[in-house]
Amino acid sequence: MRNTMTRRMLLKVMGAAGLTTLAGPFLGGMPALGQGSGGGRLPNIVLINADDLGYGDLGCYGSGAVKTPNIDALATGGMRFTDFYSCSPVCSPSRFGLLTGRYPIRIGLHAALFPSHMPLKNRLTNRFYETLGEAGLLDMKKKGYAVGIPTEEVTLAELLKERGYKTGMVGKWHLGDENPYLPTDNGFDTFFGVPYSNDMVPFPLYRDEEIIEDDIADQGTLTKRYTEEALKFIDENHEDPFFFYFAHTFPHIPLFASEDFRGTSAGGLYGDTVEEVDWSVGEVTKKLDELGLSDNTIVIFTSDNGPWYEGSPGDLRGGKGTSYEGGFRVPMIVKWPGVTAPGSVCEEMANNMDIFPTLAAAVGAVPPDDREIDGMDITGLLAGADNTPHEVFYFYHYDKVQGIRLGDWKYLRKLNVYDWPSNLQIKGPWLFNMKTDPQERYDLTETHPDIADKLEGMIVEWEKHMAVE
């Protein structure tokens, strides 16, 4: 296990933050590594990210078919968000935003990354992107395509590692499958998991930088194997502050569950996978209890985007790959003892890019100041405030801004009404009131043309701003 920060990583983090030394009163009098502002131990952090889990797939979000008692217990013991967004409705861009606090468009990350050695990659994926460009859905000349998380980006793991955290990851990475794009190149001491989605081939299993299985034979074992590794990491690192990122493979398709869960859910095989993820969450929280860590551990549960072919967006419209609420709005639960009130609900707008600056603030770390950080510190919301720090949120479809939310208003430009790119059913623009019509069914552009014009103008100004970068 590698528990020390490399010189390259130290220079990367400190340089990005405009700092020149770790000695003495660096970071404006920040407490010593491993200590909080009051001299106590820094909080542990467990960040759990499901893959393609819908807004309506959890009991605490209204599911009747799928039982999730352990995740529901997190909500009972902490805060549940109703209006929380992913920064993208697809995998790789969402994960970039989660780990860096930045819109993925800033690095040209528009879509899910494909394996670097995928058979027929050049003929298949390049033509896929060309098709998007021909349809006007992707600007082929804008910034090129990211093939992994750029070396110069500072991840949450790197930021926390600089504060003395032991960092580990289990599960799906999907931000590059070769050096220097692997988790261990980006702040994680350890990694056990897969480089991308489980519908991509080959589907290898990694331990750190080493491939230990060229193509996983039985995906039904993954959730249990991930969980075993998670418990091992917590056991081995519980005497120090730790950050553990648990990125589940499921319920992304194809669906697999272990024998203990297969056929047990009223939600079919999809429900089986979600209920096994719920079991895993229960095992992790049980371990925290056993080690006496629960009162000093921030536990976050969320999803990378909305559901795909199965799963439920609740009463929201759309799903994965769309700019409707069902594609972007995801479950978000935070249990932070001493900050989140048990059983509390936040109805304010927030997004997964906020996790980066919020956790940075929680541990006294300084995000890099040489780049735009789009996420905002939402500690106030977590503590019960009722005013989001966000004025707006932009909905990206590949590299195009397709919508904007301002307060209760959401405006969508002309868009495809089906998942993924399509030349059929182009409709819009639309204006919706999220307070009275979260299902996005009643267009108010003719009722409030001034608001529609204002929001279109804000998108145009944002595009100008991004084009300059």
Out of 72-81, 113-122, 285-294, least confident range: 113-122
Active site residue 174: yes
pLDDT confidence band for 102 (50 / 70 / 90): very high
| pLDDT tens-digit readout, 422-444 | 555 678 999 999 999 999 999 99
Average pLDDT, the chain: 88
Q: Is the pLDDT of residue 410 over 80?
A: yes
Out of 86-95, 115-124, 296-305, 323-332, least confident range: 115-124
Task: Note the pTM of the prediction, 2 decimals.
Answer: 0.90
Among candidate residues 91, 238, 346, 397, the one labeled active-site is 91
pLDDT confidence band for 415 (50 / 70 / 90): confident
Q: Is the pLDDT of residue 250 over 70?
A: yes
| pLDDT tens-digit readout, 130-154 | 555 555 555 544 444 678 999 999 9
Tell me the C-alpha distance between 416 and 400, whole Å.
Answer: 13
Helix axes 91-100, 355-363, angle to 10 degrees: 20
Among candidate residues 87, 110, 174, 238, the one labeled active-site is 174
Residue-level pLDDT at 131: 55
Q: Percent of the chain at pLDDT above 90?
A: 79
* All structural domains of the chain: 41-390 (3.40.720.10), 395-468 (3.30.1120.10)
Q: Is the pLDDT of residue 35 over 80?
A: no
- Residues with Cβ within 8 Å of 304's Cβ and at least 6 positions away in sequence, in order, are 49, 50, 51, 52, 86, 91, 94, 95, 98, 330
Q: Is the pLDDT of residue 4 over 70?
A: no
- Encoded tokens for 149: 């998380």
Residue-level pLDDT at 40: 77
Q: Is the pLDDT of residue 386 over 60?
A: yes
Q: Is the pLDDT of residue 260 over 90?
A: yes
Q: Is the pLDDT of residue 127 over 60?
A: no
Residue-level pLDDT at 123: 34
Q: Is the pLDDT of residue 125 over 70?
A: no
Residue-level pLDDT at 6: 41
Residue-level pLDDT at 1: 37
Residue-level pLDDT at 147: 85
Tell me the C-alpha distance between 31 and 40, whole Å.
Answer: 10
Helix axes 222-237, 268-290, angle to 10 degrees: 10
Mean pLDDT, rounded, for 386-397: 96
pLDDT confidence band for 398 (50 / 70 / 90): confident
